[in-house]
Copies of this chain bind each other. A is one copy, B any other.
Amino acid sequence: MKRKVTLKQIAKELDVSISTVSKALRNSKEISEDTREKVQAFAKLYNYKPNNIALSLKNKKTKTIGIIIPEIVHHFFSKVIRGIELVANKRGYNVIVGLSNESFNKEVINMEMLANGSIDGFILSISKETLLQQDYHHFYETINQGMPIVMFDRVVNDVRCDKVIVDDLKGSKKAVNKLIENGCKNIAIITTKDYVSVGKLRTQGYLEALEDHKIQPKSELILKIVEELDAEDHLEDLEAEIECLIKNNPEIDGVFAVNELYALTAMKVAKKLKRKIPADIQVIGFTDGVLSKHATPSLTTVSQHAQQMGEKAAELLIDNLEHEEEEEHYKTVVIETELIERESTK
């Protein structure tokens, strides 16, 4: 087992100084061609690679970016990571990921763990608990220490940092408009409580679309799910709530759901109640997931372009890191949504 070789060892072996070795390897013309060749040959032979940690310490740059997300077993987030990793790698950066698991504490701990020199900047999406408690001190402190943050999807406006968001409002308007165009008269929405910013915005888009078409929104048709922080485990509750909605409002002929699970559950319930999709009820979801594509009937959705979001976020962060221009001018990039029509709409 031959451990990694260092400059010092090469220097000793070749009976020159460490500086000489370093310079020779970087092709400094300060060093004679003879010595350069000798050193380089030796280094190649022993497969010398500079130690990243030492470089990081010296340069005060780690070439690593930290990602903090609420959950990784989730198509949206894993696609974002893929996007981040893609451009990070292309630009010579590594990514280190921390999962908040939707918990405020884990988010804080994870950030503190990474903020002490391990990374150059953060890309993150805020946990539900944090959004609920509205405690953002960890973001402020991080930024105050000179470490840039880029937030995506779940952001909070007050924090001074770059942001990448989906045009939730426009996206849901698109969806609801589509339902209206397709002849739906009584469109229900299945959404989240308002503290989840994206839920709020999507609800707003729904309302605006109705208003644009002079349709009076009815509160009975707006179902706000209390998220038990882990919806997958409470599928029956979700199903029951949606079943209530549809049973109590048999006039419903269109459903807009703010995420994939809600949409799929809605379709499931509808089928159970013997409603044909899309004949009796048309359904549109909001998501990037794989479920929509493979569901039966396949689900029309508002696609969020998750990977593109990740790419953009990484670009913003790295640009910020590499141009120290300290402009203090933060951008908010809006990623356009796209309505992908499948079988659940006419």
Contact = CB atoms under 8 A, between A and B. Distances in A.
A47 B51 CA distance: 29
Interface stretch (A17-25, A91-99, A166-174, A219-227): A91-99
A1 interface: yes
A188 to B, nearest CB: 20
A110 B93 CA distance: 11
B75 A73 contact: yes
A50 B117 CA distance: 9
A296 interface: yes
Q: Give the number of copies in the complex.
A: 2
18 contacts: A1-B145, A1-B146, A2-B145, A4-B116, A47-B141, A52-B118, A53-B53, A53-B117, A57-B57, A72-B78, A72-B85, A81-B97, A89-B98, A89-B110, A94-B98, A94-B114, A97-B97, A291-B294
Nearest to A94: B96
Contacts of A112: 49
Given A75-B73, A145-B1, A50 B116 contact: yes
A90 B85 CA distance: 25
B73 A78 contact: yes
A74 interface: yes
Contacts of A294: 264, 291, 295
A115 B112 CA distance: 25
B53 A57 contact: yes
Contacts of A110: 89
Interface string A106-124: 0000101111111000000
Contact of A79 (B1, B73, B89): B73
A52 B117 contact: yes
A216 interface: no
A178 interface: no
Contacts of A264: 294
Contacts of A4: 116-117, 145
Contacts of A99: 82, 85, 89
A62 interface: yes
Interface in A1-22: 1-4
A229 interface: no
B57 A85 contact: no
B57 A96 contact: no
A56 interface: yes
A144 interface: yes
A64 interface: yes
Contact of A53 (B56, B72, B296): B56
Contacts of A56: 53
A100 to B, nearest CB: 11
B82 A72 contact: yes
A294 B238 CA distance: 14
A45 interface: no
Nearest to A99: B85
Contacts of A50: 116
A116 B85 contact: no
